Structure 1
Amino acid sequence: MASTAFAVMGTASGAAAASVCTVEYSVVGQWAGGYQGAVTVTNNSAALSGWSLGFDFPAGQVVSQGWGGKWSQSGASVTVVNESWNAALGTGAKVTGGFIASWTGANTAPTAFTLNGTPCDTGAPPTPTPTPSTTTPTPTPTPTAPTTPPTTPPTTPPTSPPPTPVTGAPELGVTGNKFTDQNGAVRRLLGVNRSGGEFMCVQGYGFFDGPVDDASVKAIADWKANTVRIPLNEECWLGLDNIKPEYRGANYVNAVKDLVTKVLAHGMTPVVELHWTHGQYTGNSAGCSDVHASCQKPMPGAQYTPAFWTSVANTFKNDKRVVFDLFNEPYPDRATSTATQAWSCWRDGGTCPGIGYEVAGMQDLVDAVRATGAKNLVLVPGIAYSNDLSQWRAYKPTDPAGNLAAAWHVYNFNTCADETCWNNTLAPVAAEVPLLAGEIGENTCGHAFIDRVMKWFDDRGLSYLGWTWNTWNCNSGPALISSYDGTPTAFGIGLRDHLRALTP
């Protein structure tokens, strides 16, 4: 069964306790035949360098997915073992993990727990009552799951209300496979991309394509968008000397910060995303032969990209409302000869077949962000221009902050562009971690295709952003607007009306 990041919370050395450990068990959300649970363990004894939590289900529940450790089940007995990197559990420290399980008849809570074989005290287990989220549960568990959660919310009214979402842009975290805010309320990211910051500066024309004043940002919010993705250029941010002085370094950084501030002021989540990077690639599907950050490269480079994310993370680490999207559209699969080579390059970087520069892998970039102390939500895209998540779970980076989600892109001309592919490759990922379709679009100047995408994502409570809030010709590429006052194109009207219908 799956395991994901397990966060160890602050210790209080020497705290007195009546027993070796204390366990709190809770039901986060429940639906017919399935539920999401959480277990918090407090170590009241000497510090541990490794731990194993054990308990028995009393009513035939079966775990299908787990995070926060390595989960296994034999009969009624469940065991959760630490990951190699989070084995330390100090005196007074707490650790929390979660799981998805099936149930029939009664969802009775377990009452006895052990930590490394020693019995723990338990708080009074809460009565398992349905706690519906503001979205529908993700219906597809891992292939070994014995049951399939429903695609509709619980029909029994809850005895207690769900958490109230925070007002304005939230500080986003990951709870199981959902985005949640600081109140614990489930959130969806729904909105648009604001292209320009990736290409205008390197081409010598400015910071953004079109206005980014308050009125233009308000026009985005008027569509009932709650998220704006902002593509960036690493050479402009870092101030490399091939960029005009007026558009590089501090000037560029301040322009980006100003746009982020405006997005936040209108209650929307800013997603800062690395789009164009340094590194010469002339192989299969090359966007350009230029070494500079003037087109989409197959992978970020080790020379500058870790420094970019170190700087960006330090800039925004004190504001967890800002989300980090590590790299726009990796395509190492076009350079390498096997899928294994592509996914290994994607995660680990280094010397990759077919790519002539040293690559920074996704793990390198996560490490660069977390080394700054930033706890912000991090989005990690797949391969094949972010359209392939087939091996994302097997190769996903380790995140010590436990605040990692998957990013995916889809257009009508992509390979994975139908419900069969989405059911087979996206649903297993969405059952484990939150999933954001960071770019959705079509080149038809209509919206029939994104209507299908939005329905599939709506049915599962997932997130998506339209490409793009720019006044381009929608016949040559997906453009949502014909004017920065928010006037939609024939393509954009589909997204605008849909967002307004979701949030009247």
Structure 2
Amino acid sequence: MRHPPRLVVLLFGGLLAAASVLLPPRPQAVAASPACTVEYTVTSQWATGFQGQVKVTNNSAPMSGWRLGFDFPAGQRLTQGWSAQWSQSAGTTVTALNESWNGTLATGADATAGFLASWSGTNPAPTAFTLNGTLCNADPGSPQPPGAAPALKVSGNRLVDAGGTTRRLLGVNRSGAEFLCVQGYGIFDGPVDDASVKTMADWGANTVRIPLNEECWLGLDNVKSQYSGANYISAVQGLVQRVEAHGMTPLLDLHWTHGVYTGNSSGCADAHATCQKPMPDAQYAPAFWSSVARTFKADPAVVLDLFNEPYPDRATSDTAAAWRCWRDGGTCPGIGYEVAGMQDLLDAVRGTGATNTVLAGGLTYSNDLSQWLAYQPHDATGNLAAAWHGYNFNSCVSESCWSSTLAPVLARVPLVAGEIGENDCGHSYIDRAMAWLDGKGASYLGWAWNTWDCSTGPALITSYDGTPTAYGIGLRDHLRALTS
């Protein structure tokens, strides 16, 4: 969406007891070995804290990175960890991401990591563990544990989870991180804590799209340090963890990028990432995706959207040249900076070893997919899907247009309508769009979970407590009906 900018480690004493709690793998039939096993041990415990250890064993195909997830059942709080990058969300979910030196796990190989945590009242052990989104200590094909975000992959024209069940991405966009940081005012323009994420889930959402800014992620010197680099990345990781803790899919999108463009439909004359540009830049965008992919490659629940709304067709009247620019990048007609094409960005992601599902939107602000199949980037992993954006003020707004341009794509690959909305703050257009997309088994997400005045663009809510606008009522009630 071309929205308006908003200005807007631990020492302890008094050891009371030493306890060891071992969770053995769940007994399995001979023909059904678990994909992974986790042994959880409390090696020592005292009045207010304890030391624990997890041993992760990979029983499936070799992996080049791993991400362990589990929930503390009684309010325990992680305070320190080693041999993994440990974190805990505002709720109960704990994540351990491999270090660079222990990320490779061959079939049958294991890794051990330890931690310190606090407790009060009781200290029961976690009951479910996931490794890269797959449930451990359980038969293959067992359902995800409650609250766990599904690992996703492309299967034909569907998105499926680890058990092969079809998954549609239905939800909202949480805008903010693409603009506030580069404007120097913060990272998100409102709460992104556990309560606010739960409110999105309460609408019936199973996916949250999170637009990002490449200069803020890369920590370029035009962005204040408190809102960029490691601080920005940490804030995004925290939101991703909270989204996953509520069983929702995090969808990360490159929204604002570098490069001077003053041609037709220019959003700004600034070289910096302060508005939507017609195409991503070759100078920073591949580095952005290499970094994002390395950060999340051990988590197949995270979906990556290569570029928000390409519009190289506004820079040239040659449609074929615009589609070549979209795929191949380089020197593009009407664009004064070197462009990174969709193939360049996809290669940057795959070059890290990341196999996450990736989306690529078409021309005309992702509203035109008419030549998407002809210019589709090559993905050796087969995990590429199409992205489409649909608003009441776009060109392709009718069922006949959708049937002629979207249906052929939908027949071949999954389609995710990463943004749908209408600027009249009603929901007559999205009602039609959702009905058509439902009939095709496609995915869609409303723009945007922000408290903007509808006159400046589609806004789903008037308050971060989830109070909907008239437009938001249409999306919320539809999502709830689908999940009821």
After TM superposition, the score normalised by the length of structure 2 is 0.70
Question: What is the CA–CA distance in structure 2 between the aligned matches of 1:373 and 1:330, rounded to whole Å?
Answer: 26
**Alignment-mate amino acid for residue 284 of structure 2:** Y
Deviation at 1:165, TM superposition (A): 5.5
Question: What is the CA–CA distance in structure 2 between the aligned matches of 1:445 and 1:462, rounded to whole Å?
Answer: 23
Question: What is the CA–CA distance in structure 1 between the aligned matches of 2:326 and 2:474, rounded to whole Å?
Answer: 34
1:277 equivalent in alignment to 2:270: no
**Alignment-mate amino acid for residue 216 of structure 1:** S
Q: In the alignment, what sits opposite 2:393? A: 413
**Alignment-mate amino acid for residue 309 of structure 1:** W
Structure 1: 4+ residue segments shifted above 4 A = none
1:166 equivalent in alignment to 2:165: no
> Which of 406, 409, 412 lines up with 1:432 in the alignment?
412
Question: CA offsets, 1:181-222, max 9 Å, x none?
Answer: 000001100000000000000000100111111110000000
> Which of 346, 357, 360 lines up with 1:366 in the alignment?
346
Question: What is the CA–CA distance in structure 2 between the aligned matches of 1:232 and 1:363, rounded to whole Å?
Answer: 20
Question: CA offsets, 1:209-247, max 9 Å, x none?
Answer: 111111100000000100000000000000000001111
Q: In the alignment, what sits opposite 2:206? A: 226
Q: In the alignment, what sits opposite 1:340? A: 320
User: Equivalences for 1:15-54 in 2 at 5 Å?
Assistant: none
> Which of 216, 225, 241 lines up with 1:245 in the alignment?
225
> Which of 341, 360, 379 lines up with 1:380 in the alignment?
360
Question: What is the CA–CA distance in structure 2 between the aligned matches of 1:411 and 1:166, rounded to whole Å?
Answer: 34
Structure 1: tracts of 5 or more residues without a match: 1-162
Deviation at 1:460, TM superposition (A): 1.2
**Alignment-mate amino acid for residue 385 of structure 2:** A
Structure 2: tracts of 5 or more residues without a match: 1-140
**Alignment-mate amino acid for residue 245 of structure 1:** S
Deviation at 1:166, TM superposition (A): 3.3
Deviation at 1:445, TM superposition (A): 1.2
Q: In the alignment, what sits opposite 2:242? A: 262
On the 8 A contact 1:439/1:467 being kept in 2, the answer is yes
How many residues are treated as equivalent by the alignment?
342
Question: What is the CA–CA distance in structure 2 between the aligned matches of 1:166 and 1:248, rounded to whole Å?
Answer: 34
> Which of 481, 490, 495 lines up with 2:461 in the alignment?
481
Q: In the alignment, what sits opposite 1:501? A: 481
Question: What is the CA–CA distance in structure 2 between the aligned matches of 1:495 and 1:410, rounded to whole Å?
Answer: 14
Question: What is the CA–CA distance in structure 1 between the aligned matches of 2:477 and 2:396, rounded to whole Å?
Answer: 25
Q: In the alignment, what sits opposite 1:313? A: 293
Deviation at 1:282, TM superposition (A): 0.4
Deviation at 1:474, TM superposition (A): 1.6
**Alignment-mate amino acid for residue 401 of structure 1:** T
Deviation at 1:476, TM superposition (A): 2.6
Question: What is the CA–CA distance in structure 1 between the aligned matches of 2:251 and 2:302, rounded to whole Å?
Answer: 6
Question: What is the CA–CA distance in structure 1 between the aligned matches of 2:143 and 2:347, rounded to whole Å?
Answer: 30
1:325 equivalent in alignment to 2:310: no
Question: CA offsets, 1:253-307, max 9 Å, x none?
Answer: 0000011011001110000100000000000000000000000000000000000
Q: CA RMSD in A?
A: 0.9
Question: CA offsets, 1:79-116, max 9 Å, x none?
Answer: xxxxxxxxxxxxxxxxxxxxxxxxxxxxxxxxxxxxxx
User: Equivalences for 1:55-204 in 2 at 5 Å?
Assistant: 166-167=144-145, 168-204=148-184
**Alignment-mate amino acid for residue 487 of structure 1:** T
Question: CA offsets, 1:370-399, max 9 Å, x none?
Answer: 000000000000010000000000001000
Question: What is the CA–CA distance in structure 2 between the aligned matches of 1:165 and 1:473, rounded to whole Å?
Answer: 41
Counterparts in 2 of 1:461 and 1:360: CA distance versus 1, 3 Å: same
After TM superposition, the score normalised by the length of structure 1 is 0.67
1:289 equivalent in alignment to 2:269: yes
Question: What is the CA–CA distance in structure 2 between the aligned matches of 1:231 and 1:473, rounded to whole Å?
Answer: 19
Deviation at 1:475, TM superposition (A): 2.9
